[in-house]
Amino acid sequence: MYNLSDIKEKIQQGVFHIWGGKNSVMITEIVEFPQVKVLNLLFCGGDYRELEEMLPSFEQFAKHFGCKRIYGGGRKGWLRKIKPLGFEQEYMVRKEL
C-alpha cells in the first residue's frame, strides 16, 4: 500500500512514472521478473477516453525499455472497457494477516 507521500517520493526517485493528461493521470513502474520485464500500471484515474488515448504512449515507452507485458489491477468493470484494447483478465488473491 502506498500513501501520497510514498508515490511522490517514488516519482522523484524515478522509480514510478507519471503520465498526466488534462483530466487524467496514470502512475506506472517497470518491474523485472526473472523471465519477463513488465510495465506495471499502479494507479489510473480521470476521463476514460483520455486514459485510452494515453495508452499508445506508455506502450511505446514500455517497449523501448524491453517490457513484454503491461500489468494492472482494478475493479471487474474495467475489463469490458479494456478488453477491446487487447487486455486479458488474470486473477489475484489476497489474505490479510
Q: Is residue 51 situated within a structural domain?
A: yes
Domain-embedded: residue 92: no
Residue 51: closest CA among 5, 10, 4, 85: 85
- Full domain range(s) for residue 74: 4-85
Q: How confident is the model at residue 80 (pLDDT cuts 50, 70, 90)?
A: confident
Share of the chain above pLDDT 90, in %: 62
When divided into structural domains, the chain yields a total of: 1
Three-class SS of residue 12? helix
92 SS3 class: coil
**Residue 7 — pLDDT band, cuts 50, 70, 90?**
very high
Instruction: Tell me the CATH number at 71.
Output: 3.40.630.30
pTM of the model: 0.80
On whether residue 74 sits in a domain, the answer given is: yes
Whether residue 70 is contained in a domain is answered as yes
Dist. CA 1–CA 91, nearest whole Å: 19
Specify the pLDDT at position 93: 66
Cell of 75: 475493479
